[in-house]
Chain A
Amino acid sequence: MDLSSINPILLLASLMVAATPIMLAAIGELVVERAGVLNLGVEGMMITGAVCGFVVAVNTGSPWMGFVGAAIGGAILASLFGFLTQYLLSNQVATGLALTLFGLGLSSLIGQGYIGIKAPSFPDWHIPLLGDIPVIGPIVFQHDPMVYVGLLIVLGVWAFLKFSRAGLILRAVGENHDAAHALGYKVRLVRMGAIMFGGACAGLGGAYLSLVRVPQWTEGMTAGAGWIALAIVVFASWKPGRLLLGAYLFGGVTVLQLNLQAAGMAIPVEYLSMSPYLATILVLVIMSAGRAPGSLGRIFHASR
């Protein structure tokens, strides 16, 4: 074993990249759950975003258009979930699970004919001045733009929930939808907005895999990332700051275990492969003191 062959700067840099898809999907789901809706279809929306983004990027030649397409695709699929649960009052857990299965099937259908094609390249940004700082530069300031878009979304959600009036309303709807309704807030409208935002973020996360991380389209390529995003939201006790920590921890241990394997670490591969899940759950459980939004997963009907 030769641990000196692991370059800590590159390790930390790839941590940010590895964490981005999960972070994007998780922050969307966080908003959805803060509005009191439990959408278990994150995986389905992610993979639909991955294929929509890939198809749009290949046909337009622009990765940016691909990301826009992915967000729209994810949001459309999410609005289906919203319509079923908010207007037809279907069970959120069952509908979310169905959404995952539907998304997986739909994505392989759309992706027929796009297997084995290369995506247009999406170059890294080398931010002037900041990117030249030794150590910190290569770790933080030399990534592709989506890494920063993801961070901006997390920051935006945090500020929105904490400081804005709209954020307060969204939280009120999530905590007690009957009280929010009595105060005259449009519960269903707020929730539909949150659900579509969640779908768009999941779509972006999926497209980050198919356009930047791999970059290729393959059936089932999200390989469970959506479920990890869901878990991170819960373990982060619905707080954006902790969510960021959880996503980076997961991404970090994922990259670290591959590095240890390549360095010839004498630990069985199977243990290394499970380590990201164990580490993330452990740390977030130890920290966790949060409480779920009061109306999470409950069906709202104005007459009740």
Chain B
Amino acid sequence: MIKSLVTGATLALGMATAAFADGHEKTKVGFVYVGPIGDGGWTYEHDKGRLAVEEAFGDAVETVYVESVPEGPDAERVMTQMALEGADLIFTTSFGYMDQTINVASKFPDVKFEHATGYKTADNVSVYSARFYEGRAVQGHIAGQMTESNIVGYIASFPIPEVIRGINSAYLHAKEVNPDIEFKIVWAYTWFDPAKEAEAANVLIEQGADIILQHTDSTAPQAAAQAAGNVVTFGQASDMAEFGPFPRVSSIIDDWAPYYIARTQAVMDGTWETSNTWDGIGPGMVKIGEITDAVPAEVKASAEAMIEALRTGEYHAFTGPINKQDGSAWLAEGEVADDGTLAGMNFYVEGLTGEIPQ
């Protein structure tokens, strides 16, 4: 009896190994999410990318995901579990998974890892991000012209380069069309906490902001603006169209599907290599959601012209002359920012008040 069990197990193991060697097994793709897939923002878009992968490859792939994984040590446990369960490719979709991704990747050299918005790579770790700041430029352009109080409220998440870039880009382009513009910034220290985000939005509105920009993932600030009645918002990471045509007048949409499909294909073909992808409006990784009719026609037209210029590469969102907050020169007239400086941006541009928390 025992002998036959052992034989059976050995046989099963042998078959599994055989299937593996044949290369007929499904490619398994794992996703680690920082929020719930129903957040309506950041994680929701990543999950749309996952579904696109399933649709593109059908039975040839199997996808798994774990949602609401806290940034920090616990993420390592989740990634390790995924790798042990046979994932061939794992996407870790938040900045705070950076070191954990590198750690786990070193233990599983045969598994490919892709870390979103980070900057550390390894033989089996690629990084990818989108140039959200191009979308922020468009938001600033619209916001600067639509505000009546000249106060823009900004709900920031963590003081990391990606968030600071967004603040700088939005500010520069609002300032360009409205020299009197003022930014009020609240650091929420969370990517997703609807109660906190709503509280921050309300405070900013009470302090006179009639535009709310958010770098957090829930729709709570949109709801707060809607309740206030005369406050303009922009969808973050996802279209958030359910709050249009007002207060949500436009949005930045992350479109991860083409990238996820391409990388999954590369793993299947065995052509996967470490890469550092940073795409913007041009390749379609960043999309600008429909600008609604609540925006005056001429503002809409100039915003669309800006989107086109960003798309073709004719215009760069950080084009000099730009000074840093302390007044020292950063970019000379006509000079554009290099990716290295942008990737590690840790300073405000001239005109912004307050300090970046350390």
Give chain B residues whose Cβ lies under 8 Å from the Cβ of A255.
199, 203
The answer, yes or no, to whether A146 is at the interface (CB within 8 Å) is: no
Give chain A residues whose Cβ lies under 8 Å from the Cβ of B219.
116, 216
The answer, yes or no, to whether A159 is at the interface (CB within 8 Å) is: no
Q: Are A262 and B203 in contact (CB under 8 A)?
A: yes
Q: Are A223 and B195 in contact (CB under 8 A)?
A: yes
0 or 1 for each of A11-49: is its CB under 8 Å from B? (1 = yes)? 100100010000000000000000000000000000000
Option from A218, A262, A264 in Cβ contact (under 8 Å) with B36 = A218
Q: Are A269 and B189 in contact (CB under 8 A)?
A: yes
Give chain B residues whose Cβ lies under 8 Å from the Cβ of A261.
186-187
Give chain B residues whose Cβ lies under 8 Å from the Cβ of A155.
none
With known contacts A219-B68, A263-B184, A18–B204 Cβ distance under 8 A: no
A128 to B185, CA, bound (A): 36
Question: What are 19 inter-chain pairs, A to B, with CB distance below 8 A?
Answer: A5-B208, A7-B206, A7-B207, A14-B202, A14-B203, A14-B206, A116-B36, A116-B39, A116-B44, A116-B219, A118-B242, A216-B219, A218-B218, A219-B68, A258-B186, A258-B203, A262-B153, A262-B184, A262-B207
Give chain B residues whose Cβ lies under 8 Å from the Cβ of A116.
36, 38-40, 44, 219
The answer, yes or no, to whether A130 is at the interface (CB within 8 Å) is: no
0 or 1 for each of A238-279: is its CB under 8 Å from B? (1 = yes)? 000000000000000011001101111010111001000000
Q: Are A266 and B355 in contact (CB under 8 A)?
A: yes
Q: Are A18 and B195 in contact (CB under 8 A)?
A: no
Give chain A residues whose Cβ lies under 8 Å from the Cβ of B206.
7, 10-11, 14, 259
Interface with B: A56-64, A66-74, A207-215, which one?
A207-215
Give chain A residues whose Cβ lies under 8 Å from the Cβ of B116.
none
Q: Is the interface of B mostly helix, strand, loop or mixed?
A: mixed
Q: Are B153 and A269 in contact (CB under 8 A)?
A: no
Q: Are B198 and A214 in contact (CB under 8 A)?
A: yes
**A118, A218, A264, A268: residue with the most chain B Cβ atoms closer than 10 Å:** A218
A14 to B38, CA, bound (A): 29
A202 to B150, CA, bound (A): 41
The answer, yes or no, to whether B58 is at the interface (CB within 8 Å) is: no
Q: Are B36 and A219 in contact (CB under 8 A)?
A: yes
Give chain B residues whose Cβ lies under 8 Å from the Cβ of A213.
195, 198-199
Q: Are B223 and A215 in contact (CB under 8 A)?
A: yes
The answer, yes or no, to whether A115 is at the interface (CB within 8 Å) is: yes
Closest residue of chain B to A18 (Cβ to Cβ) is: B199
The answer, yes or no, to whether B327 is at the interface (CB within 8 Å) is: no
Q: Are B220 and A264 in contact (CB under 8 A)?
A: no
The answer, yes or no, to whether A97 is at the interface (CB within 8 Å) is: no
> Interface of B with A (CB < 8 Å)?
36, 38-40, 44, 68, 153, 184-187, 189, 192-196, 198-200, 202-204, 206-208, 218-220, 223, 227, 242, 353-355, 357
With known contacts A223-B193, A223-B195, A118–B68 Cβ distance under 8 A: no
Q: Are B202 and A216 in contact (CB under 8 A)?
A: no
With known contacts A263-B207, A266-B355, A269-B357, A258–B199 Cβ distance under 8 A: yes
A15 to B218, CA, bound (A): 23
Give chain A residues whose Cβ lies under 8 Å from the Cβ of B203.
14, 255, 258-259, 262
Give chain B residues whose Cβ lies under 8 Å from the Cβ of A268.
357
Give chain A residues whose Cβ lies under 8 Å from the Cβ of B208.
5
A6 to B203, CA, bound (A): 9
A77 to B314, CA, bound (A): 62
Q: Are A262 and B193 in contact (CB under 8 A)?
A: no
The answer, yes or no, to whether A221 is at the interface (CB within 8 Å) is: yes
Q: Are A115 and B36 in contact (CB under 8 A)?
A: yes
Q: Are A216 and B199 in contact (CB under 8 A)?
A: no
Q: Are B218 and A216 in contact (CB under 8 A)?
A: yes
Give chain B residues whose Cβ lies under 8 Å from the Cβ of A115.
36, 38-39
Nearest CB of B to A250, in Å: 13
Q: Are B194 and A216 in contact (CB under 8 A)?
A: yes
A218 to B152, CA, bound (A): 27
Nearest CB of B to A113, in Å: 8
Given contacts A214-B194, A258-B186, 20 further A-B contacts (CB under 8 A): A7-B207, A10-B206, A14-B203, A115-B39, A213-B199, A214-B195, A216-B218, A216-B220, A218-B192, A219-B36, A221-B194, A258-B199, A261-B186, A262-B153, A264-B184, A268-B357, A269-B187, A269-B189, A270-B357, A273-B189
